[in-house]
């Protein structure tokens, strides 16, 4: 059958690739893969172009990669890829990934750096392809931003398969070349930090109890013991601190509560006020007496996502040796419907003496955070930032596009927003009107009610207004991360499962304060 010239070349290329792929199967242990980036054709440009590393590789091959790319199909679009086999004696497989337009940068409409996001997504895609091909070692083109490339590689390859017999093929990633080594190493630390949060959130609740959570963070911080102090506070200590709101949530479970307190001392100047990060640490949330419906309740093993992201951010800051002082606070417990559990209508007293009517035991996160926020003020902090998978209403409002930020400080909002533009893990400012405060202070039996007066209306906002009642600091922000807790396919460089968001944004925020 007669084939036009282009089709003849494409057919030959397919046969060539098949032969080379079969040959390389026999030397699996010696195989390496390579991920290279290519930009889309600009509007007024002549053709697509490789990154600096891609161009050097193509030049070494005397233009063979460009030739193969041109005859293998249409130009590689953003997020797409093409695989070639046997082009180079050192690499059994080469994946060319689309980076979009090289002129992409910070996008005001999207509130992120499109170039960085494109790199993360492209590198992630290329690494997964090579993982599926069971290539053990993958070299990655820095694509002009080694940090974003490293983040994409590590985040894209992570998969929680600890309790599965058949596990994902393990891949080691390396930087291709040495021009961006410092940025690459930084990106690996950022990626490892978010993956730690993902691991904590994904692990079954019977494997990560409050005690195990605290022990895990202590172990992760052990290599940085010269800069870090870890306190795992017991129930007796919590009682002595008069944290009755926190204790009331833990009463229904046989698992003992733990108040985890971590001090990272990155700045030796005693006059430098610390940043205090507070994370909600409900290691399983059944809803208590106000029991949740069974469908999807298994995901409530990740209701400690606030504590996971906060603590992982501190582990990352320590690994980066950021010159900033950070104190992490994580009230850890389970919310279970035991015989001693909170009952709707109960009244408890928070650490600052305010009384709280508990009309819904499934609004427990704000109770444990109330006591932790009161305690945070004792460190005379520069700023207090808390993170919590607090309300389903936040998921309804923003979905998985961004974490909601409620803050009393324009300066603090600016710092958090700036960090999120860099990481691509976005935040969005939400209102803290007195309108919402009146809905939690209009209470029949106590100073505050733990749910808003109109129940379903503005649920994320009334929850934030409740927390504000325990804040006197000038710079405080509450991040409601319920909407970004998990990932289906919204973030292309994260697999389906718990996301670990916004760990990298918290790290970048802390780094910004340090500088």
| Pairwise CA distance, residues 140 & 179, whole Å | 12
Tell me, yes or no, whether 197 lies in a domain. Answer: yes
Tell me, yes or no, whether 167 lies in a domain. Answer: no
Per-residue model confidence (pLDDT) at position 17? 53
Shared domain for 137 and 202, answered yes or no, is no
Shared domain for 407 and 489, answered yes or no, is yes
Confidence of residue 45 (pLDDT cuts 50, 70, 90): low
Rounded average pLDDT over 63-81:
92
Quick: pLDDT tens for 455-480.
779 999 999 999 999 999 999 999 99
Rounded average pLDDT over 263-292:
95
Per-residue model confidence (pLDDT) at position 15? 53
Least trusted range by pLDDT, from 9-13, 67-71, 465-469: 9-13
Q: Is the pLDDT of residue 228 over 90?
A: yes
With contact defined as beta carbons under 8 Å apart, do 99 and 38 qualify?
Answer: yes
Q: Is the pLDDT of residue 355 over 50?
A: yes
Confidence of residue 349 (pLDDT cuts 50, 70, 90): very high
Structure tokens at 5: 């010239």
Quick: pLDDT tens for 384-397.
999 999 999 999 99
Q: Of the candidates 130, 153, 177, which is a domain's last residue? A: 177
Domain count, the chain: 2
With contact defined as beta carbons under 8 Å apart, do 331 and 369 qualify?
Answer: yes
Which of 194, 176, 154, 94 has the alpha carbon at shortest distance from 425? 194
| Pairwise CA distance, residues 353 & 426, whole Å | 36
Shared domain for 384 and 263, answered yes or no, is yes
Q: Of the candidates 150, 177, 204, which is a domain's last residue? A: 177
Shared domain for 376 and 485, answered yes or no, is yes
Active site (catalytic) residues: 292, 366
Rounded average pLDDT over 399-415:
98
Per-residue model confidence (pLDDT) at position 104? 84
Quick: pLDDT tens for 83-108.
999 999 999 999 999 999 988 899 99
Shared domain for 155 and 197, answered yes or no, is no
Per-residue model confidence (pLDDT) at position 124? 98
Per the DSSP assignment, residues forming a β-bridge with 334 are: 284
pTM above 0.85, yes or no: yes
Shared domain for 408 and 448, answered yes or no, is yes
| Pairwise CA distance, residues 303 & 307, whole Å | 9
Least trusted range by pLDDT, from 45-54, 245-254, 424-433: 45-54
Rounded average pLDDT over 397-420:
98
Peptide bond into 502 cis (omega under 30): yes
What DSSP designation does 442 have?
Answer: -
Alpha helices per DSSP H over 346-409: 365-376, 392-398
Query: Could you tell me the CATH number of the domain that includes residue 421?
Result: 3.40.630.10
- Sign of torsion over alpha carbons 370, 372, 376, 382: negative
Q: Is the pLDDT of residue 26 over 90?
A: no
Mean pLDDT of the chain: 93
Quick: pLDDT tens for 127-156.
999 999 999 999 999 999 999 999 999 999
Neighbours of 344 (CB within 10 A): 15
Shared domain for 139 and 287, answered yes or no, is no
């Amino acid at each position: 059958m007669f084939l036009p010239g282009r089709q003849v070349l494409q057919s030959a290329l397919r046969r060539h690739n098949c032969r080379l792929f079969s040959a390389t199967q026999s030397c699996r242990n010696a195989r390496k893969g390579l991920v290279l980036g290519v930009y889309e054709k600009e509007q007024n440009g002549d053709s697509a172009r490789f990154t600096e590393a891609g161009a050097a590789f193509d030049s070494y091959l005397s233009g063979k990669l460009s030739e193969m790319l041109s005859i293998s199909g249409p130009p590689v679009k953003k997020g797409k890829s093409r695989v070639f086999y046997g082009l180079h004696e050192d690499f059994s497989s080469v994946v060319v990934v689309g980076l979009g337009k090289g002129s992409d940068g910070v996008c005001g409409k999207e509130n992120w750096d499109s170039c960085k996001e494109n790199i993360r997504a492209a590198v992630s895609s290329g690494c997964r392809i090579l993982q599926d091909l069971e290539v053990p070692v993958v070299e990655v083109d820095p694509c002009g931003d080694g940090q974003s490339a490293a983040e994409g590689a590590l985040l894209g390859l992570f998969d929680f398969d600890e309790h599965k017999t058949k596990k994902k093929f393990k891949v080691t990633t390396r930087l291709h070349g040495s021009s961006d080594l410092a940025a690459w190493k930084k990106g690996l630390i950022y990626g490892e930090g978010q993956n730690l949060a993902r691991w904590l959130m994904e692990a079954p609740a019977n494997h990560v109890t409050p005690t195990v959570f605290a022990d895990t963070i202590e172990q992760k911080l052990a290599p940085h013991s010269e800069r870090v102090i870890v306190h795992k506070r017991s129930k007796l200590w919590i009682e002595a601190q008069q944290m009755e709101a926190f204790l009331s949530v833990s009463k229904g479970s046989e698992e003992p509560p733990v108040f985890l307190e971590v001090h990272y001392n990155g700045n030796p100047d005693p006059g430098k006020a610390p940043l205090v990060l507070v994370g909600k640490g409900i290691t399983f949330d059944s809803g208590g007496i106000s029991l949740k419906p069974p469908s999807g309740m298994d995901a409530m093993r990740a209701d400690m996502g606030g504590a996971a992201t906060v603590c992982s951010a501190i582990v990352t800051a320590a690994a980066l040796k950021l010159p900033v002082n950070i104190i992490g606070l994580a009230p850890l417990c389970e919310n279970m419907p035991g015989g001693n559990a909170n009952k709707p209508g109960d009244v408890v007293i928070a650490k600052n003496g305010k009384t709280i009517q508990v009309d819904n035991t499934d609004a427990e996160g704000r109770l444990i955070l109330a006591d932790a926020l009161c305690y945070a003020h004792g460190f005379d902090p520069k700023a207090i930032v808390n993170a919590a998978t607090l309300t389903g209403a936040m998921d309804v409002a923003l979905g998985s596009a961004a974490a909601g930020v409620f803050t009393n400080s324009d300066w603090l909002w600016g710092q958090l927003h700036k960090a999120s533009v860099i990481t691509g893990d976005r935040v969005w400012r939400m209102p803290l009107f007195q309108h919402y405060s009146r809905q939690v202070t209009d209470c029949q039996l106590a100073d505050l009610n733990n749910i808003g007066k109109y129940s379903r209306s503005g649920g994320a906002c009334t929850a934030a207004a409740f927390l504000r009642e325990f804040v006197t600091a000038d710079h405080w922000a509450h991040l409601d991360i319920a909407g970004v807790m998990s990932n289906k396919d919204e973030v292309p460089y994260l697999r389906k499962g718990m996301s670990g968001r916004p760990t990298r944004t918290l790290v970048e925020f802390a780094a910004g304060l340090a500088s």
